[in-house]
Amino acid sequence: MRPKDFFEDFQVGERLITPGRTITETDLVLFAAFTGDWHPLHTDAEYAKRTIFKERIAHGMLGLVVGSALAFRMGYDVVLPKSFIAFYGMDRVRFTAPIKIGDTIHLESEVAELREKNESMGIVISHNEIKNQRGETCISYTTRILCGRRPA
């Protein structure tokens, strides 16, 4: 994918696959610390052993913020066009498989829909999947960004 200026520079079906990042024990501790969410499933090895996961797993939100930010490894203007106005939000965020310590995740993103809002703005809707090193989808979500249209 290339850097973009306007809504018109996106194409439905365009895809982006990012480099990976290994999720470490350090990441679990840092995320627990930053958010204050020390749920024992993420931070108590003895407790985690007795769950169906058998070990500590990453917070779903950890996977989401680390995985989604991987998009920016491709360059900010590949993801957010120069005419970027606002990050509307996310829909259908689903946590579908656990991320374990040592797993390496990456992001696959695809432009799903281009919706003209009015003469000057458009909405880019993308579908995103955060996958592990075995290709399993751990988290999926849809994003909506608002950006400017190319002046006539």
CA-to-CA distance for 141 and 100, rounded, in angstroms?
A: 20
The number of residues that bind a second copy (CB under 8 A) is 53
- Subset of 57-96 contacting a second copy (CB under 8 A): 60-61, 64-66, 68-70, 72-76, 86-95
CA distance 34 to 25: 14
The b-or-e profile of 83-92 (16+ CB within 10 A means b, else e) is bbbeeeeeee
Burial 122-143 (b: 16+ CB within 10 A, else e): bbbbbbbbbbbeeeeebbbbbb
Scanning 6-14, 22-30, 114-122, 123-131 for contacts with a second copy by CB under 8 A, the matching segment is: 22-30
- In angstroms, what is the minimal distance from the CB of 124 to a second copy? 15
| 25-64 residues near a second copy, rule: CB under 8 A | 25-27, 29-40, 43-47, 56, 60-61, 64
In angstroms, rounded to a whole number, what is the distance separating the alpha carbons of residues 103 and 113?
A: 31
Q: Are strands 15-17 and 21-22 parallel, antiparallel or unpaired?
A: unpaired
Tell me whether residue 41 or residue 111 sits nearer to a second copy (CB atom).
41
CB of 82 to a second copy, least distance (A): 13
Residues of this chain that interact with a second copy (CB under 8 A) are 19-22, 24-27, 29-40, 43-47, 56, 60-61, 64-66, 68-70, 72-76, 86-95, 102, 104, 133, 141
